Structure 1
């Protein structure tokens, strides 16, 4: 028998026709893996934490993760670019900490009608203003508009800002004489008359002699002397002392009425208003919610109505650190080609780097999962360059953005990840430059990185972006890999496309071998076996490698087939007769990054040039 069957037994005697399926020559599929977004849900969200969840739509993310949560907004940003691709999410454990808080402050009153245009991330919120509105009216209108949009990452509350008049002078009668059992008040003078808080605190240094209540009424208890101190409670820090003498006397039921200090609090003057913005979730991520007034400016009709003054205080004081321990466990051995990680502190990146590495991670020989991690960071040129310089990971891309970029970094990340997924799935070797980061608002004109500054980013391991007609575009998605193990400059893993191309090539070769030769015997070249036998030799495998290379060359993934074939090595291992060793010297197709031209013009070709032309 020369044909090798998988299922039909060789000794069957029952008639007649039997057939088994063999798809080893039919596979034309190219393996690709889904995208993964890691992020934070709202505390009361129903999504299970630290579990892989398939997320087909942005609406599903809002329902499971909570409207306005980082993860829901990330899915929304991703789906605006990649509405079709397979996407998973992992909701991280809620951090212990506090939510970030920001403020919008108002003063004055509106002389004309209009709107206060506040951008929370890339979303414009317009608080309507009517002529004659006070600062509090305008603040309340903006707060109502914010709370009317449940997809925003913040909640808003409007309050008045008042002007408290502090006490500047406090005079207490120096002495007072009362009899035992009698009560009397102390003469007190408070300046100015319009002080907001005239409440005083009272204390006797000897309650066995005399006591004093909260209103400053002193009661004689026993014969002797005591000091009673009055102290302001408005923060002015003033106090006065009354020396009280208690004489023995007949107990009386009625109190003797004397002039006492008032404890009333006068109505403070309203001098403005503020809208307090509180992130819907705890953690440091809330500090990066960008706020801006009138992003498009007066030329687009965005200006503060005359008479009102509005200012911003950035989101701050958010506290709480995310842990990836359970996240990485949840990823397991599921393959993901595009991993969106919004957390980019050094410890988190180190932890994810260990998951991705070539020795025991997703790029190792034993796991072969591959994939690439993307994140986004907002900062100055100096900060971003220093951050990138400290990293050297071929499986990590950090996109750097200007400080006044009007989009939250987690949304920038998700939108860019979606663009990468769409482009790379179609062709891993084609550059992703000019890819639109859909829905993002770039830094305003005059606040964007110059070409020289972007060159600095690209030489320090930070990916760059450009802006065309107000649209944010990918310029070059490099990795953070910059040096070899000896600290020498190394550009072998400079571009993320190189890593995606490598994953494509390795998966292609694995598909060929595992599909065509899953249960084959191994023999030396020249072995005379019958046709149909499940036997493979090094020369047959060499032919498969060349055929696969030709296919990838036609697909525009590799080049220079003849040179590849010259240096390709396929041989049986000298120590293990069941093993074949292959040196696969692929020459990847590169990307057109720079087109340099020297325009050597003439006013007119010379006679000699014309004659030789």
Structure 2
């Protein structure tokens, strides 16, 4: 017997002659639904920024952060880095001012009285300034020239002033932001092979230190409230802020919140410091990447990794990020790169890894989460790679969209019921299971899941025996793997 069509617009008792047709789409052969991914930069701002603290702003150009967060601000640098690495994804920022009473980090560059001549290249937070030293310049003049060059770059993360010490003639550096972030501004004399200290010149560096009082990431969380952001770049990496963000992301990933997101943070530290920091959280929704003595500040690592990840994971959430470059990020000196043994241990401690090119460019090696163990403390790799939570987010999003579009106003009946046989607006466990089968084939063709046949065999759908308006389902999936390792034996005939 034919199934009676269901009409939403045409009344069945209409008596006026004519032919009327409703037009509506069908989704039985729909491909993957578009995923509206959005990235968020938690952007520290200076008092010179025009942004309203705690308000969300869409950023479309690398220069947007200068006016919003202030020239030389961490926020402006993060926005520039993210937009340079990713010019197409939908990126937003929330401006957060320094914490009240925060202390700014300080450092210095000191000139001696030796009269070596030549070009002097200085890198501060990865930004390069260059002055030319002549034999006729006194130490105070050299210091004054460097102060002028540093302050001429309005994007510098520090302000420079000339000291009054007659013996060393110091260039005093003060971070523009208060807080611990300033301690991670690395000062280097030359990076490239030809950037050597002029012969005879006396220049010494005192590292940035003394910064204290980072803002609370809860301020940013309160600002975004119930809005969904798929990738969030965090500039502050104190234990408390990492813990708060990890918990927020956990809650956002729950079934009823449906605000899935992933956090990214950069770290500067030795092997020992990074392995310790990686164990602060145990989160499937947080990624940390760390380097020892990289000229590029950690917040630029975070913003760039977030921007690269959101672009490529939106294209294909199941494909590993290995070999992708972090544009603009500078690798540490070869002596400061981690060995393969150290990288393996870092990956077991929640820290993502990278490789360095001969030109000091940075390429992703393995991007993981900080998840290492179950709630009972048992070692577990279920959520190790970032692709797992991101792919599951996409499947959940796609399935919810499928249900909403395929069964928007359907009734619910048992398999084999007379209602199922005669009405197109009746859903049954069998019908929904068929829809799930069709979507799993889409996910399989996209390379998101594997073993589709077993996935379908293990799925169950039923009407809740205690609630006639509710369907219950168990829908196991097997996320596809990535070719990360190849192990073989190469034998030869002796």
What TM-score does the superposition give when structure 1 sets the normalisation length?
0.77
Matches of 1:156 and 1:49 in 2, distance apart?
27
- State the secondary structure of the residue aligned to 1:352: helix
**Structure 1 residue 94: deviation in Å?**
2.6
* Contact residue 104 and residue 211 of structure 2 kept, 8 A: yes
Q: Distance in 1 between matches of 2:487 and 2:76?
A: 44
Deviations 1:311-352 (CA, angstroms, capped at 9, x unpaired):
111112222231223311221222211111122222212221
Please list, as runs of the form range in 1=range in 2, the aligned pairs for 1:133-172 lying within 5 A after superposition: 133-162=137-166
1:130 Cα offset (Å): 2.1
Within-5 A mapping of 1:423-438: 423-438=312-327
- In 2, distance between residues paired with 1:477 and 1:126? 36
Cα distance in structure 1, aligned partners of 2:197 and 2:164: 19
Query: Which residue of structure 2 lines up, in the alignment, with residue 46 of structure 1?
Result: 50
What SS does the corresponding residue of 2:418 show, helix, strand or coil?
Answer: coil
Contact 1:66 1:72 in 2 (8 A): yes
SS in 2 for 1:292: strand
Corresponding residue number in structure 2 for 1:190: none
Q: Give the Cα–Cα distance (whole angstroms) in 2 for the partners of residues 111 and 322 of structure 1.
A: 44
Structure 1 pair 18–381 and aligned structure 2 pair: CA distance change class (3 A): same
Q: Which is higher, the Rg of structure 1 or of structure 2?
A: 1
Cα distance in 1, alignment partners of residues 280 and 219 from structure 2: 26
What is the distance in 2 between the residues matched to 1:414 and 1:35? 10
Q: When the two structures are superposed, what TM-score results if normalisation uses the length of structure 2?
A: 0.94
User: Alignment partner of 1:339: what SS?
Assistant: strand
After TM superposition, give the deviation of residue 303 of structure 1 in Å: 2.0
Gaps of 5+ in 2: none
Residue equivalent to 2:72: 68
Question: Bigger shift: 441-450 or 2-11?
Answer: 2-11
Whole-Å separation in 2 of the counterparts to 1:518 and 1:574: 22
Deviations 1:535-561 (A, max 9, x none): 111111111000000011111111112
- Are the counterparts in 2 of residues 45 and 64 from structure 1 also a CA contact under 8 Å? yes
Greater share of helix: 2
Distance 1:48 1:92 in 2: 9
Please state whether the residue corresponding to 1:350 is helix, strand or coil: helix
1:535 aligns with 2:426: yes
Is contact 1:374–1:413 with CA below 8 Å preserved after alignment? yes
Matched position secondary structure for 2:450? coil
Deviation, 1:39, is 2.2
Is 2:104 the counterpart of 1:102?
Answer: no
Deviation at 1:525, TM superposition (A): 1.1
Distance in 2, matches of 1:11 and 1:496, equals 56
SS in 2 for 1:157: strand
CA shift digits 1:38-90 (9 cap, x unpaired): 12011221101111111111111112111111111001111121111100111
The answer (yes or no) to whether the contact 1:429–1:498 under 8 Å persists in 2 is yes
Partner of 1:286: 182
Counterpart mapping for 1:166-315 below 5 A: 271-296=167-192, 300-315=193-208
Q: Verify: 1:551 aligned to 2:442, yes or no.
A: yes
Secondary structure at the residue paired with 1:8? coil
Secondary structure of the equivalent of 1:115?
A: strand
Aligned to 1:419, the other structure's residue is in SS state: helix
Q: Name the structure 1 match of 2:5.
A: 3
Describe the SS at the equivalent of 2:202: strand
Deviation at 1:19, TM superposition (A): 4.4
Counterpart in 1 of 2:225? 332
> What is aligned with 1:467?
356
Q: Take 1:318 and 1:15, find their aligned partners in 2: how far apart are those partners?
A: 82
Name which of structure 1's ranges 145-154 and 103-112 shifts more when overlaid on structure 2: 103-112
Change (3 A) 1:61 1:12: farther
CA contact (8 A) 2:243 2:281 kept: no
Deviation, structure 1 residue 111 = 4.0
Task: Name the counterpart of 2:300.
Answer: 411
Q: Which residue of 1 aligns with 2:337?
A: 448
CA distance in 1, matches of 2:263, 2:211: 25
Q: Paired residues, what number?
A: 487
Distance of 1:444 and 1:388 partners within structure 2: 22
User: 2 CA distance for matches of 1:35 and 1:419?
Assistant: 11
| 1:267 paired residue number | none
RMSD (Å), alpha carbons: 1.8
Partner of 1:36: 40
Q: Offset at 1:452?
A: 0.8
- Alignment check: 8 A CA contact 1:135 1:308 kept: no
Number of the residue aligned with 2:397 = 507
Distance 1:121 1:278 in 2: 12
Contact 1:48 1:91 in 2 (8 A): yes
Note if contact 1:341-1:375 (Cα within 8 Å) is conserved in structure 2. Answer: yes
Higher mean displacement: 487-496 or 9-18: 9-18
Post-superposition Cα deviations, 1:466-520, rounded to whole Å, max 9, x if no partner, equal 2122211111111111111211111111111111111111111111111111111
Q: Does 1:343 align with 2:347?
A: no
Per-residue deviation, 1:15: 5.0
Q: Answer yes or no: is the 8 Å Cα contact 2:266–2:290 preserved in 1.
A: yes
| Distance across 2 between alignment mates of 1:327 and 1:390 | 20
Higher mean alpha-carbon deviation, 97-106 vs 546-555, is at 97-106
Q: C-alpha offsets along residues 387-416 of structure 1, whole Å, 9 cap, x if unaligned?
A: 2234211111111211x1111000011111
Q: Does the 8 Å CA contact 2:105/2:180 hold for their aligned counterparts?
A: yes
Instruction: Tell me the alpha carbon deviations over residues 361-411 of structure 1, each in whole angstroms, 9 at most, x when there is no partner.
Output: 211111112111111111111121122234211111111211x11110000
Whether the 8 Å CA contact 1:116–1:142 is kept in 2: the answer is no
Q: 1:20: Cα distance to partner? A: 4.0
SS in 1 for 2:63: helix
Query: Larger deviation: 272-281 or 1-10?
Result: 1-10
Please give the per-residue CA displacement for 1:427-485, whole angstroms capped at 9, x wherever unaligned: 11111111111111111011111111111111111111221222111111111111112
Aligned counterpart, 1:118: 122
Aligned partners of 1:30 and 1:507 also within 8 Å: no
Distance change >3 Å, CA 94–CA 160, structure 1 → 2: closer
Aligned counterpart, 1:127: 131
Change in CA separation of 1:34 and 1:291 when aligned onto 2, cut-off 3 Å: same
